[in-house]
Structure 1
C-alpha cells in the first residue's frame, strides 16, 4: 500500500473514532453530580420546590404566591433547545433536588431569628424555608407515594409498601404531629424567640460545666446514646426532643449499655422524633402510638413501652419527612461519597439531621457536643471511661459536617460550643 493511501486510511480511522467518542460522550447518562448546581438559588412552584436555578431568592417569614412552572420545569427537566438536546444531565436521578412545599406560618416574630439572618448569609441560596421538616397523615397520598418511591432509605419511600406507610402515618393525625413545637404557647416568654439547645454526644462536653446553660433553653434536643444520669453538670438533664432511627436506637442500647444507656429519656415533655430509613421505623412508630407490640418485621413482638414508657401518647411522636432529609443531603451536605458506589447508603448523620432540623424550626440555636477541628483532643463521647478516637464510616461524612458547623457558626446562624 502506498504512503498516500496509508495516510488517507489513517485519517479516516481517526475521524471515525473521534465521531464515536463524541456521540458516546454526549449520549451516555452520567452518574457524576454537578456540584456547582447546589450553589445556585432555588425557584418555586405551588406544589414542588424545584431544582436550583441561577436567580437568587430572598426568603422572608411570610409566604407569598408562587408562579406556576412550565411543564418542562415541573418535570425537573431543561427546556429542549438545539444546544442541549444531547447535553448530559446535571444530576443523577437519585439526587431528586425537588421537594414538597408547605405554607409555613411563623411561630414567632423574633426580630433577629435564623430566618431573617439567613437571607443575608452565604446560605441564602441553599435554604428553602417551605420544605416540610416533618411528615404526618396529610402526606400519605398515592401521588406522593409514587413521587417518593423513587428514592430509597431515608431519602424517600422506596422499598416501603404503601400499606405500611399509610397505616403508620394514620396515627400521626393531629396538629401536634405536624409541628416541632406543639407546646410553644405554654413555654413562650417575653423574648418572643424560640431558643434551642442541640446536644451531641461528643467528648468535648466532658468537664464543660455547660449543663445549666443547656437546660436554660426552651427546647433541648438529644440523639442516640444520650446518657444524662451522672453527667448533668456537663450536659444538663432535660430532653424535649429525642431524635433517632430504630436502627440507631437499637445499636445505642447494645453499644452503650455498659456506660449507662438504658434507652431514650422518658418524661412528659419529651417528644420522640423518628428518622425513618427503613420500614422498621414506621412499624415501631405505629406500635408506640397503639401501645402494642410491633406486629411484623425484624422487631416483631418488641414492646415500645421499653423505649418510650407506658404512658407515651401519639401526640409525643413525630417523624422527619424524607424530602427534608434528601434536601439537607443535597444542599448542605453533598458528600463526595455520592459519586461512589456507596452513594445509596450515605445520609447525614442522625445528629446532623437533628441540628439542621433545629436550624429550620428554631429562632436561635446553640450546638453542644458536635465535632470541631480540635476533635482529636477529645474522646468520641463525653461518657467514655477512657480515650476513644472518633470513628469514621462511609455512610456519614463527619468531616464535611464539621466544616458545615464552622460555616454556620461563622455566619451567625448557630452558636457552636468550642474550646480553645
Structure 2
C-alpha cells in the first residue's frame, strides 16, 4: 500500500502543476505592455527553475525531462565544465582547445561582465514569444501578437524590417553563434549559443581586438551590441537539451529549439511562432526566396522533424502555446 500512496502523491504534484499552467493560459492573456523588461529582468540568476515540476514522475512526459537543477548560463562561478559535457561539446565541431578553456573563459569575463549570481535562482519574467524563422510566418499577421509579449526571443539572422506585420518589430533577446552573428540595437540581449570554445574566444575578440575573423568560415570580426547585456549559454545546458529533449536525434539541437527550451525554463508563459514547414511543406526562412527549401534538413546536423514533434507535444501538454 505504501508504494500506491507514493505513486498517487507524485501524480497529484505533476497534475496540479499542469492544471495550474492551463488555468494561467485560460485566465491570463499576453500583456500588451512593452515596458516590463527592466522591471522584470530575465535570467539574471545562476540557474533556471521557473515554472513547472517540483517532482519527477515516470507518469508525466514533461516532468521526466524537465531538470530544475541545470545551469542555463555560463558565469565565472560555474565555469568548471564537467568532463563528460566537455568531451561531448568538443566533438560537436571538432575542437581541440579544451585544455585552454578556463583561460578562455577568464579572458572573456575580463572583457564582459559576468551575469549576476547573488540573486534568487530565477526572477519570474512573464510572457515570452519565441519567434522561429520558418517561412510559415509569411502572411500570418502575427506581428502584433508577438510584440504584445513581455519578451521577444529571436535567433540567428532573423529579419524584422519589412516583415513587421507577420513577425513583429520588437526583440529583447537575440540568440546567435559566430557564423550567424548580426549587429544588434540598444537594449537587446545578445545570447551566445557556444557550439565550441572558439565561439567564446570570438565573442571576446568581437568586443575588443577583432582578431578572430574566421572559424570554419568568415565571421564578423567586430560586433555592435551592448556588451553589458550579453548572456552566454552554458554547454551543460546544451547537453541537457540533447540528452533529455532531442534524445540524440541530430548531432546537436538547433538554435531555435535551444531558444525554446531556454524560454520554458525562464518564462511563466511561452508562445512559439515560426517553427516547421510552410503550408506547402517547404522548410525555408520567411525573408528568403525559396530556392533550396529544406536544404538544412539534409545536413544531418539537426533533426527538424523530431524537434517539431517535440514542440507539438509541449503544446499538447499545455507548456507552450504553438501558433501555426
Are 2:267 and 1:362 equivalent residues in the alignment? Answer: yes
Residues 296 and 388 of structure 1: CA distance in aligned 2, closer, same or farther (over 3 Å): closer
Over 3 Å counting, the alpha-carbon distance change for 1:278 and 1:380 in structure 2 is same
How far off is 1:151 after superposition? Answer: 2.5
For 1:166, the equivalent position in structure 2 comes to: 106
**Alignment CA distance shift 1:375-1:300 (3 Å):** closer
Contact 2:249 2:306 in 1 (8 A): no
Cα 1:129/1:105, change in 2 over 3 Å:
closer
Show the counterpart of 1:330.
243
Matched, 1:267 2:185: yes
Q: Is the 8 A contact 2:132 2:275 kept in 1?
A: yes
8 A contact 2:75–2:115 mirrored in 1:
no
Work out which structure has the larger RCO, using CA pairs closer than 8 Å and 6 or more positions apart in sequence. Answer: 2
What pairs with 1:18-417 in structure 2 (closer than 5 Å)? Answer: 104=47, 113-115=51-53, 121-141=60-80, 144=81, 146=83, 148-153=85-90, 159-160=97-98, 161-162=100-101, 163-176=103-116, 194-249=126-181, 263-264=182-183, 266-289=184-207, 291-294=208-211, 298=215, 303-305=221-223, 308-309=224-225, 312-313=226-227, 315-336=228-249, 346-371=251-276, 376-378=280-282, 380-386=284-290, 388-391=292-295, 392=297, 393-417=299-323
Match of 1:383, SS state, is coil
**Rounded Cα–Cα distance in structure 2 between residues aligned with 1:410 and 1:292:** 48
**Distance in structure 1 (CA, Å) of the matches to 2:78 and 2:198:** 19
- RMSD (Å), alpha carbons: 3.7
- 1:196–1:219 contact (8 Å) kept in structure 2: yes
Task: State the distance in 1 between where 2:308 and 2:191 align.
Answer: 23
CA contact 2:46–2:73 (8 Å) conserved in 1 = no
CA change 1:135–1:56 in 2 (3 A) is: farther
How far does the alpha carbon of each residue in 1:310-362 deviate from its partner, in whole angstroms, 9 at most, with x for none?
xx22x21111111111111111101455xxxxxxxx10011111111111111
Secondary structure at the aligned position of 1:277 is classed as coil
Helix, strand or coil for the counterpart of 1:150? helix
Residues 125 and 266 in structure 2, CA contact (< 8 A), matched pair in contact too? no
How many equivalent residue pairs? 279
Q: TM-score, normalised by structure 1?
A: 0.57
Which residue number corresponds to residue 37 of structure 1?
A: none
Q: Label 1:336 to 1:240 Cα distance change in 2 as closer, same or farther (>3 A).
A: closer
Instruction: Find the structure with the greater CA-based Rg.
Output: 1
Separation (CA, whole Å) in 2 of partners of 1:380 and 1:355: 19
Are the structure 2 counterparts of residues 331 and 226 from structure 1 closer, same or farther at C-alpha, using a change threshold of 3 Å?
A: same
Q: Secondary structure at the match of 1:125?
A: helix
- The runs of 5 or more residues in structure 2 that have no matched partner are 1-9, 18-44
Provide the secondary structure at the position in 2 that maps to 1:138: coil
Matched with 1:110 is: none
Unmatched 5+ residue regions in structure 1?
A: 1-54, 62-101, 108-112, 185-191, 250-262, 338-345
Quote how far apart the aligned CAs of 1:387 are.
Answer: 6.5
